[in-house]
Structure formats: C-alpha cells, structure tokens
C-alpha cells in the first residue's frame, strides 16, 4: 500500500505539472521484495518495493510565443544557469528567459544564463546583452536590439544599423540524465553524477546536442491520458492490497473464535 501511494504521488505530481514549461514526467518502477523460504522448494514473496522513480526526458512540444527572449532546445541538452548570489550552477530545459535591468539574460527566478560573454567566443560567464563591444565607428550609436540564431550566437544591433556578435548561449549534455537531482523551479543539480558528455558547456548543435529555437518554449511532456489510466491502475492496486489486510484480519478473527 505504501508503494502504491508513492506511485499515486508521482502521478499526481505529473498531472499537476501538465502545463509547466519544459516539465519532464516521471514514473515509478517496482520490484519484488525478498522471498521467504518455507522449505527448499517453497518460497513466499514478502511484497513489493519501489526500485526507482525514473524521469522521462523526452522533449515536449515546442510552441511559438513571439517573445524574443523565450528559447527552447530542439533536441537533447540543457541550458546552464548560475545563481548570482551563491554561485551554484544548475541546468534546465525551461527557456522562459528575460533580460534584466543590467542586461543579463536570466531565468524567471533570477538565475543567469551561462555562455560565451565576448565577441571572440572565448570567455564563459554570465551572458549580458548590451552594446558593450560594439564595432560601430559612430560614437553616438546606442544599443537597439538583439537576435539569437540556432547555434545560440547572440548578435546585437546598434541604432546606426551596425551589428556585432555579443556572445553565445551554451548547452550541457549528459550520458545519464536520470541521475540529475531536481532542485525545484525547473532546475536540476548533480551534473557530475549524470555523466557530463563534455568537460564544459558547448555550442548548440555540437556533440549530438540540440539547437536553439527562439521566440518559442517547450511544453510539458506529460501525457494526461496515460497518467489518468495509470492513476486508476494504482488506485485499484491500493484498494486490492487494503482488501488483503481486511481478509487477513477476518481470518485471524475466525481462528480466535474457534478457540471459544
């Protein structure tokens, strides 16, 4: 009953996050518990145990938002972000980014997106989108806007029409993403345990990683139809196991009554 309750908790979490950007559904895996040997040829199982809760990292549907700072990964990989206060790094599939007052590209909870921060694409740090590093010969030219291509390269446009490469968004890949630990807010930690495919974040479209889609977001990969069917199965399993307890209690009561 406890293990079926765990399964129901996982299903409930999936259903509640069916509209969460880039959410990845999980499933509960069961295995049989150690059997009791009554004799050399007779064994009785002692129940079930939860062997793992696996996360399905299959990509969700990518939908257009018409917001320039929204980004989605078409394929495998994760955005690398950093807490500006603690310096802790996380990975995420949630690309609902904004540009803050200081020009930093940040997540909805203030984590700064990591990547190359210079036009030479050599220094990795907090990505900042502004007019610094402009190659314009017009001293009065000011920052006007930016664009991001499928490789994550950020091109800034100045008021005089000139443009230059400001930096590049990088992605991180893992050989075993199920080893990542959810930290809430669509963030994951435990990158070392998940087996990073490269020693550092790399450009989108390289090392088998996906490309960046701008003005778009990845939807949750939760299949509500499957989750509802799984919920019914888990609920019936819970009910059946509770009936076993009731039946066992009635049998014990009958044994006690025999003595009377």
Task: Examine the domain organization and report whether 161 and 232 are in the same domain.
Answer: no
Domain count of the chain? 2
Task: Examine the domain organization and report whether 241 and 210 are in the same domain.
Answer: no
- The tokens for 24 are 């990845």
Task: Examine the domain organization and report whether 15 and 102 are in the same domain.
Answer: no
Task: Examine the domain organization and report whether 92 and 135 are in the same domain.
Answer: yes
The whole domain housing 162 covers: 62-218
Predicted pLDDT at 38: 79
Task: Examine the domain organization and report whether 110 and 189 are in the same domain.
Answer: yes
Task: Examine the domain organization and report whether 203 and 81 are in the same domain.
Answer: yes
Predicted pLDDT at 45: 83
Task: Examine the domain organization and report whether 141 and 173 are in the same domain.
Answer: yes
Task: Examine the domain organization and report whether 96 and 51 are in the same domain.
Answer: no
Cα distance between residue 153 and residue 158, in whole Å: 16
Task: Examine the domain organization and report whether 185 and 85 are in the same domain.
Answer: yes
pTM of the model: 0.87
Say if residues 149 and 123 touch (Cβ distance below 8 Å): no
Identify any residues that bridge with 112 across adjacent strands, giving them in sequence order: 82, 106
Task: Examine the domain organization and report whether 32 and 122 are in the same domain.
Answer: no
Predicted pLDDT at 36: 80
Identify any residues that bridge with 182 across adjacent strands, giving them in sequence order: 188
Cα distance between residue 157 and residue 143, in whole Å: 6
pLDDT tens series, the chain, 260 aa? 999 999 999 999 999 999 999 999 999 999 988 778 777 788 888 888 999 999 999 999 999 999 999 999 999 999 999 999 999 999 999 999 999 999 999 999 999 999 999 999 999 999 999 999 999 999 899 999 999 999 999 999 999 999 999 999 999 999 999 999 999 999 999 999 999 999 889 999 999 999 999 999 999 999 999 999 999 999 999 999 999 989 989 999 988 888 76
Task: Examine the domain organization and report whether 190 and 99 are in the same domain.
Answer: yes
Q: What is the DSSP secondary-structure string of 1-65? A: -HHHHHHHHHHHHHHHTTTSTT---EEEEEEEPPEEESSSS-EEE--EEEEEEEE--PPPPEEE-
Cα distance between residue 166 and residue 131, in whole Å: 8
Task: Examine the domain organization and report whether 146 and 208 are in the same domain.
Answer: yes
């Amino acid at each position: 009953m406890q293990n079926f309750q765990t399964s129901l908790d996982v299903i409930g979490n999936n259903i509640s996050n069916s509209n969460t950007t880039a959410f990845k559904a999980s499933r509960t895996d069961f295995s049989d518990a150690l059997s009791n040997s009554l004799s050399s040829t007779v064994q009785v199982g002692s129940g079930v145990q939860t062997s793992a809760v696996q996360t399905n990292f299959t990509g969700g549907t990518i939908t257009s938002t018409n917001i320039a700072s929204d980004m989605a990964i078409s394929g495998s990989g994760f955005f690398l972000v950093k807490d500006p206060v603690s310096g802790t790094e996380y990975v995420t599939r949630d690309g609902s980014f904004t540009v803050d007052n200081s020009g930093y590209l940040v997540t909805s909870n203030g984590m700064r997106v990591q990547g190359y921060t210079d036009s030479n694409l050599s220094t990795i740090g907090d990505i900042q989108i502004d007019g610094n590093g402009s190659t314009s010969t017009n001293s009065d030219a000011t920052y006007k806007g930016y664009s991001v291509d499928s490789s994550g390269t950020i091109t800034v446009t100045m008021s005089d029409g000139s443009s230059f490469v400001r930096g590049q968004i990088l992605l991180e890949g893992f050989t075993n993403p199920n080893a990542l630990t959810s930290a809430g807010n669509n963030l994951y930690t435990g990158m070392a345990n998940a087996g990073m495919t490269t020693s550092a974040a790399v450009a989108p479209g390289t090392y088998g990683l996906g490309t960046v889609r701008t003005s778009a977001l990845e939807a949750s990969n939760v299949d509500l139809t499957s989750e509802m069917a799984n919920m019914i199965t888990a609920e019936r399993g819970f009910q059946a196991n509770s009936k076993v307890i009731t039946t066992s209690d009635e049998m014990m009561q009958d044994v006690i009554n025999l003595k009377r």
